[in-house]
Amino acid sequence: VYAVQYTVHMAVRNPLSRERIVDAAFRLLEQDGWEALSMRRLAQELDVWPMAVYRYFRDKDELVDALVDQAAGTMELPGTEGDWRDRLCDVLDAARVTLQRLPPELRTRLGALLVAPEAGLAGEGVEILESAGFGAEQAGLAWSALGAYTIGAVEIAPTDKARFEYGLDRLLDGLEAEVGAVRR
């Protein structure tokens, strides 16, 4: 009886949830950066005692996983127009913009997701490469190369789009030459 009443009471005034916690975490990250994201400050932000968050996330690592998933979800996959090169450029530039907004600690983890075949984010890229004439294995290798380049480019110069495009164009030239050679 007490339990039910208390639950109703809390639900009315301020129900905690994974979503609210994740939102608060991103707010904290944007305002004060990675080092500000502690379980204790997060709880403070949510006007709750530190341990309340642990009902929703087993530990800090699980919370960070959720942040990475959320960031992966908001990664805009633009429409598929133009030839395979244009489409890859669009997809990779969207990835670049998303990665660029994250602190390095999350960037690394989202980057790994970007190329992991089982994570789903690689699917579209590999498809485009196969439509360009790459076999399944080559498409996987090519996507890894494109992903590696994108992740590294963000790492060394997060905001410099022209540099990014220069290297991407060279890499795509090399890939195009290879797929052309295979076709013949």
Q: How far is residue 111's CA from residue 99's CA, in Å, rounded to a whole number?
A: 7
Tell me the two tokens of residue 117.
């075949």
Q: Which is nearer to DNA, 14 or 159 (CB)?
A: 14
Using CB under 8 A as the binding rule, whether residue 155 contacts its own copies is answered as yes
**Position 182 contacts its own copies (CB under 8 A):** no
Give residue 120's Cα distance to chain centre: 11
Which residue among 38, 74, 131, 159 contacts DNA (CB under 7 A)?
38
Choose, by CB under 8 A, the member of 21, 42, 67, 142 that binds its own copies.
142
Q: Which range touches its own copies (CB under 8 A), out of 20-28, 40-48, 53-61, 161-169? A: 161-169
Measured over the CA atoms of residue 84, residue 136, residue 96 and residue 174, the dihedral's sign is: negative
Smallest gap from residue 153 Cβ to its own copies (A)? 4
CA–CA dist 148, 59 (Å, integer) = 30
Q: Out of 12, 31, 61, 81, point to the residue binding DNA (CB under 7 A).
A: 61
Q: How far is the CB of 145 from DNA (least distance, A)?
A: 35
Figure out which of the listed residues 112, 117, 123, 131 binds its own copies, where binding follows CB under 8 A.
Answer: 112
Indicate whether 97 belongs to the interface with DNA (CB under 7 A).
Answer: no
Classify 82 in phi/psi space as left (phi over 0), alpha (psi -120 to 50) or beta. Answer: left
Q: Per rule CB under 7 A, is residue 148 in the interface with DNA?
A: no
DSSP per-residue string spanning 126-150: HHHHHHTT--HHHHHHHHHHHHHHH
Q: Does 50 bind its own copies (CB under 8 A)?
A: no
The residue behind tokens 């789009």 is 161
Phi, psi (rounded to 5 degrees) for 37: -80, 80
SS3 58: coil
Nearest to 93 by CA among 141, 174, 144, 160: 160
Of 49-57, 68-76, 105-113, 147-155: span binding DNA (CB under 7 A): 49-57
Residues at the contact surface with its own copies, assessed by CB under 8 A = 104, 108, 111-112, 114-115, 141-142, 144-153, 155-157, 163, 166-167, 169-175, 177-178
